[in-house]
């Protein structure tokens, strides 16, 4: 009995030793595996970008993939391909989030840019307005304000000045009241005012400046308010008030005259009597005019209204028309020239026949010398070369309605004499103001 018990005990001891060996082996293997995993994970973490290397990145959505392809197409200036990809991305968002999702905002801006590059300004206008519609549906006040600013800025740079003014008119009371002050919107309103046919309501501008000064705004923003208010006061004929505002812009050195950007409309002069008689004689020779001249009013008495936009970044001017659905943009007229930018078709009507073709027109440069009064008015215009009468009359008419920031010396507005001025008509590559 004792022998059998000793045998079983010995067998159990042997089994226990084998078991311990097996367990020790498994533990060692586990340790090695864990160590290997840690080392491999560490190596991967060093090789992978991102704050959390071992985190699983969510797959890109269909809209994101399409937008990425569209950005590449736009970088290659393949606008038609980019437009198609962006529309697909927009539809993908519609399927997932609905037609009025705010997530399509960046896509709409890119679509607008693609159409601007293709000179389809009317379609770009529709995308901008739809983006504003979406922004106004947001629950975020900041989003609603920024969408309003974006559309107003688009209206300004596409020549839809009345539409821009109407858009921001409702928020004027907000800027003047005790409600939160939006400096960006207030500055934009002052910009738009300069391009008004009814410019200028300088009283509101002064109130906006006073309101801006009650806030802890950066000095450069206050300087912008001072400059824009000074411009509006100059356009409003209040020369006695402008010096203090302009002096704030540059307290170190004196300021020289600068053209104030804005919108100018003027009526071209009637042709002189000699031109009238010459045209009558030509019509008679061609037997177009047989008796009298019944169309005098149509040919000579109806003054042409010209638009001059003093801003090199302007897109073609959009003309608002009325329909049963309200105001909309009917067409966009090309602008040409610098520093004065003329409506191209109107400009052709005002100049001699030999300048009707754009290739010839772009070679035209008009060199002048003029004086600028302390009130910012151009005077004593002298032409440096012999130009056709139509060209000289054109520039004289424009200068009659143009205004300059007067020279500032020792804090006072002073007259400037013999300033050179060159008007060119070469077509410019405009930089559209968009939020794309």
Cβ-contact 263, 401 below 8 angstroms: no
Residues in the chain: 436
Per-residue pLDDT reduced to its tens digit, 280-328: 556 655 555 444 433 333 333 333 456 677 677 788 888 766 544 455 6
Per-residue pLDDT reduced to its tens digit, 228-271: 888 888 888 887 787 778 776 554 445 678 888 876 655 544 44
Cβ-contact 63, 89 below 8 angstroms: yes
Counting Cβ atoms within 10 Å, is residue 248 exposed (0-12), middle (13-18) or buried (19+)? middle
> Peptide bond before 17: cis, by omega within 30 degrees of 0?
no
What are the boundaries of each domain within the chain?
61-139, 263-424
Strand bridging mode 258-259 / 317-323: unpaired
pLDDT score, position 392: 93
pTM: 0.73
Collapsing DSSP to helix, strand or coil, 417 comes out as strand
pLDDT score, position 71: 94
Residue 273 has pLDDT above 80, yes or no: no
- Mean of pLDDT values over 19-48: 44
**Element holding 123 (H helix, E strand):** helix 121-136
In DSSP notation, 215-278 reads S---HHHHHHHHHHHHHHHHHTT-HHHHHHHHHTT-SSS-B--EEPP-EEEEEPPPPPHHHHHH
- Nearest to 86, CA basis, from 107, 114, 117: 107
Write out the CATH class of domain 61-139. mainly alpha
Which of 115-129, 186-200, 273-287, 393-407 has the lowest average pLDDT?
Answer: 273-287
pLDDT score, position 73: 95
CA atoms within a 13 Å half-sphere pointing along the CA-CB vector of 58: 4
């Amino acid at each position: 009995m004792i022998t059998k018990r000793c045998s079983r005990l010995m067998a159990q001891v042997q089994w226990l030793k084998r078991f311990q060996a097996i367990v020790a082996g498994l533990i060692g293997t586990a340790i090695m595996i864990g160590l290997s995993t840690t080392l491999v994970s560490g190596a991967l973490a060093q090789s992978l970008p991102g704050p959390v290397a071992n985190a699983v990145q969510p797959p890109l959505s269909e809209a994101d993939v399409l937008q990425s392809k569209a950005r590449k197409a736009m970088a290659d200036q393949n606008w038609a391909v980019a437009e198609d990809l962006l529309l697909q991305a927009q539809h993908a968002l519609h399927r997932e989030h609905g037609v009025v999702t705010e997530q399509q905002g960046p896509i709409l801006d890119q679509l607008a840019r693609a159409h601007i590059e293709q000179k389809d300004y009317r379609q770009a206008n529709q995308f901008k307005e739809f983006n504003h519609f979406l922004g106004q549906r947001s629950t975020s006040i900041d989003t609603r304000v920024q969408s309003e600013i974006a559309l107003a800025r688009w209206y300004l740079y596409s020549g839809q000045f009345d539409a821009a003014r109407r858009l921001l008119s409702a928020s004027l009371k907000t800027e003047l009241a005790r409600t939160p002050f939006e400096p960006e919107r207030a500055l934009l309103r002052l910009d738009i005012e300069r391009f008004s046919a009814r410019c200028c309501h300088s009283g509101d501008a002064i109130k906006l400046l006073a309101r801006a000064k009650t806030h802890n705004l950066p000095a450069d923003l206050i300087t912008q308010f001072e400059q824009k208010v000074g411009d509006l006061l100059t356009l409003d004929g209040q020369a006695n008030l402008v010096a203090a505002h302009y002096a704030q812009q540059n307290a170190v050195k004196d300021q020289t005259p600068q053209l104030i950007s804005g919108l100018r409309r003027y009526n071209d002069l009637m042709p002189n009597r000699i031109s009238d008689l010459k045209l009558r004689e030509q019509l008679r020779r061609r037997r177009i005019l047989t008796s009298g001249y019944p169309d005098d009013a149509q040919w000579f008495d109806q003054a042409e209204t010209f638009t001059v936009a003093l801003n090199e970044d302007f897109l073609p001017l959009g003309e608002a028309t009325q329909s049963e659905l309200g105001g909309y943009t009917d067409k966009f007229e090309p602008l040409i020239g610098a520093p004065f930018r003329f409506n191209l078709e109107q400009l052709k009507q005002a100049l001699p026949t030999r300048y009707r073709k754009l290739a010839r027109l772009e070679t035209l440069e008009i060199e002048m010398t003029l004086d600028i009064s302390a009130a910012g008015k151009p005077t004593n215009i002298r032409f440096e070369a012999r130009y056709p009468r139509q060209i000289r009359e054109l520039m004289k008419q424009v200068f009659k309605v143009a205004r300059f920031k007067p020279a500032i010396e020792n804090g006072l507005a002073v007259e400037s004499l013999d300033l050179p001025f060159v008007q060119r008509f070469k077509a410019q590559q405009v930089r559209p103001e968009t939020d794309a």
